Amino acid sequence: MTETMIHLTIDGEPLEVPAGTTVMTAAEKLGINIPRLCYHPDLSLEGACRVCIVQVEGFNHFITSCSQQVWEGMVVQTNSPQIRQARRDIVELLLDNHPKDCQTCDRDGNCELQRQAYRLGIRERLFEGKRKEFPTDESGKSVVRNPEKCILCGRCIRVCAEVQGVQNLSQHGRGFNTVVGPANLGPMDESACIQCGQCVAVCPTAAFLEKDHTERVWKALSGAIGKKHLVVHTAPAIRATIGECFGLPIGTPVTGQLVTALRRLGFDAIFDTNFSADLTIIEEGTEFLKRLNGAGPLPLLTSCSPGWINFLEKFYPEMIPLASTCKSPMQMMSTLIKTYYAERKGIDPKDIFVVAIMPCVAKKYEVDRPEHVLPDGEIATDAVLTTRELAWMIKSYGIDFVNLPEGEFDRPLGVSSGAGDIFGATGGVMEAALRTVAVKLSGEELGPLVFEDVRGIVGLKEATVTIAGKEVNVAVCDGLTHAKKALNYIKSGEKNYHIVELMACPGGCIMGGGQPYPPFSMNVLDPELAKLRAKALYDVDAHKQLRRSHENPAITKLYEEYIGEPNGELAHALLHTHYQARMPRGIR
Amino acid sequence: MSYSCHDTTDNWEDVKTKCVSALPEHILKYIEEHKGDEHPESNLIVILQMVQHHFGYLGQEQMHAVAQLAQIPLAKVTGVATFYHLFRLQPRGKHMINVCMGTACYVKGADKLGQRLMDELGIQFGETTKDGMFSLDVSRCLGTCGLAPVIMVDGQVYGPVTPSEVPLILEKYLKKPKVPA
């Protein structure tokens, strides 16, 4: 079938585009980038901000180019003194209803409203008058909502509904008093929010932010909370993305510089959450093999992503028995630091301060889960920094990140296999698990390393892997609308999965709610961005000597010296957890 | 073992029972009958109108019940409820006071009248006093411009009213003899 082509003229240049193309997209083919704010290529059309207006011949009013499809013979003008003035007026009106604190704002100069203001040449404020005044909701453990910075573009509402299927945000009130927030504009943690932080990621301003943990980390580093042994561990995905905050090309792995930067900030021990990713594979893999052999329900649902776990508890509580009981790698690691490591070092766990560097906003909520509290009443992780927060700290410390020498993680909790690295990309946990399960099931020493079917930014990936003559049906979901799809397949019996990897954020941790705002050339949620970041992790993995979690000698030693058996008594006490239905129940 | 025995962790029956007890029979029936509609969420306004008609306002418990039973996100329910002027989120007081803000009343100082009422009652427009005696709201033209500025209490129009007369009018309603039981 041939596509119907439409002929039109944009700024005097004729062009041909497929029917259904919007004026904005057509203009891009000519190298014309029409200014925009509420538009997001990976979300539905809103047409709210009116910044992308153009003049169309035959119409005496401007038309929004993001929402208008082309027609045959259309004549479009994207630029004229009148259009430029109108766009300037629109952005000026937004600015005049917006706090004037760009220099001290958490967006750190990477704000789309600010960028448009500069781009459109706004040099004065003509419409200053009454400005909206609303309280900031800082009650949430993960997400902070500041409606005064909101420009009502609706991206957060759309990402929450369309990508995550959570539908927790809505506009409340009307006109000048419109506020975006959860039901009744109540506290975030009492809403159906699953803390994924995608609203933070897509927000063009700072109306949504992660809960700040930098202050408590600065305090610990400066000795203000007493003499503490400061331990930090960094998630797999951080090494693939933090370079972006320092101007490095997207997808540049910076593991060595990251370690050096943390050492210079003053941490006493620097570990790799990859280690506990490997450990997760041993624990979860053992659990899976047991269930595969009839000792429990199938499929096994992975439990690494705290956003997903929140979703499970609020939206699909009846499926809790399917979830792996493994704590997330972060919580396994922090727990081991305050038990295993503390004992070996002879340090009182109360004198250890554990910081986790995470791509995730939901981790900030996870650390306070009462069921994760250690036997002595301590919480395992004392602070969680997002990739963005760590980058701010490194910058303000005056560290020239790009030119740092490469450092190495400390032992023993810094040793990891490549299987741990790929945890950060969607499909990574599954691939890591399959590498180990393949060996364990077949009894052979070596097995396949690369499982191409579970790689890629697809949303819901399915594959059947034959291991030792046994067919294992696997599914990988990233983004919770895809998780919904898989869960509904399981409920209806339509699909017969054995194991399902679920990550709350689309693309996995590399696209987590705490990851760097992408550079101007790219959009959050862009699959190309996810691919570049994922490639960095797969490259790190490919260059490692150790590729399978169970080959990690530090893991072997941990079991020999301390834990005993995988899924054993101590393993259950330290590395496993439980879940329960939570209110308010989400609407599927 | 395949997917089967997971009812133990489910809370749907509890949630459903609580929600069902929060709404009257006819509303439950309406929700149930329209669940299979092509766009079930398009019934939201009708359902909320039914709730308000029954209870006099939209309570938190009722909105939660509507959300769960009709499977419409609660944020959407409260978003709609706060968008439309006709929905009230608080119970209405025994006496309804409307301040006319039409053009004639406005130029004759209705804003000062409104302010005096808010001061006297300790509430804002759209709210109800703690004792449940008065609700205060704004009206556009009441069609009695010759008497501007006017206020209307339970359908009785007063005008022209000066701010200093406001306490006297309120007193009348507070002093009204109780109907013997």
Task: Find the CATH number of the domain harbouring B132.
Answer: 3.40.30.10
> Are residues B126 and B154 both part of a single domain?
yes
Let me know if residue B141 belongs to a domain: yes
Q: Are residues B61 and B23 in the same domain?
A: yes
Q: What is the structure's pLDDT at A441? A: 87
Is A2 a residue whose pLDDT tops 80? no
Say whether both B76 and B99 belong to one domain.
no
Q: Are residues B102 and B153 in the same domain?
A: yes
Single residue among B22, B54, B83 that ends a domain in this structure = B83
Q: Is residue B174 part of a domain?
A: no
Tell me which amino acid residue A26 is: A
CB contact under 8 A, A192 and B79: no
Distance CA(A507)–CA(A237), nearest Å, equals 11
A88 CA: distance to closest CA in chain B (Å): 29
Residue B5 lies in a domain: no
Residues of A (313-342) whose Cβ lies below 8 Å from B: 317-322
CA distance B152 to chain A (A): 26
CA dihedral A146, A511, A251, A278 (to 10 degrees): 130
A358-400: pLDDT as tens digits: 999 999 999 999 999 998 889 999 999 999 999 999 999 999 9
Q: Residue A482, by phi and psi: left (phi above 0), alpha (psi -120 to 50) or beta?
A: alpha
| R_g over Cα of chain A | 25
Q: Is residue B57 part of a domain?
A: yes
Residue B4 has pLDDT above 60, yes or no: no
d(CA A121, CA A1): 46
Q: Which domain holds residue B122?
A: 95-169
The total number of structural domains that make up chain B: 2
**Which of the listed residues B83, B110, B134 is the one where a domain comes to its end?**
B83
Q: Are residues B74 and B125 in the same domain?
A: no
Give yes or no: residues B18 and B71 share one domain: yes
Nearest-CB residue to A172 (from B2, B67, B79): B79
Give the residue from B50, B83, B116 where a domain finishes: B83
Helix segments in A255-303, DSSP class H? 255-265, 273-290
Question: CA-nearest residue of chain A to B87?
Answer: A173
Residues B143 and B118 in one domain: yes
Same domain as B125, residue B73: no
B2 inside domain: no
Are B114 and B137 members of one domain?
Answer: yes
Mean per-residue pLDDT, A216-238: 97
> What are the catalytic residues of A?
284, 287, 304, 324, 363, 366, 371, 509
Average pLDDT over all residues of chain B: 91
DSSP line for B108-166? TTHHHHHHHHHHHHT--TT-B-TTSSEEEEEES--S-GGG-S-EEETTEEE-S--GGGH
Residue B181 lies in a domain: no
Residues A541 and A114: their CA atoms lie apart, in Å, by 39
Taking the C-alpha atoms of residue A524 and residue A522, their distance in angstroms, rounded to an integer, is 7
Q: How many CB pairs under 8 A join A and B?
A: 97
Contacts of B4 in chain A (CB under 8 A): 297
Q: B81 exposed, middle or buried (CB, 10 Å; 0-12, 13-18, 19+)?
A: buried
SS3 A355: strand
Q: Are residues B103 and B154 in the same domain?
A: yes
Q: Which residue of B has its CA nearest to A182?
A: B75
pLDDT, tens digit (0-9, with 9 covering 90-100), for A230-263: 999 999 999 999 999 999 999 999 999 999 999 9
B175 located within any domain? no
B111 and B154 both lie in a single domain = yes
When the pLDDT of each residue in chain A is averaged and rounded to a whole number, the result is 95
pLDDT of B179 > 70? The answer is no
Q: How far apart are CA A111 and CA A91, in angstroms?
A: 13
- Which stretches of chain B sit within 8 Å of chain A by CB? 1-12, 15, 60, 63-64, 67-68, 71-79, 82-83
| Residue A485, pLDDT above cutoff 90 | yes
With beta carbons under 8 A apart, name residues in chain A contacting B75.
Answer: 167-170, 181-183, 191-192
Kindly state whether residues B165 and B99 are assigned to the same domain.
yes
Distance from CA of B82 to the nearest CA of A (A): 5
pLDDT of residue A567 exceeding 90, the answer is yes
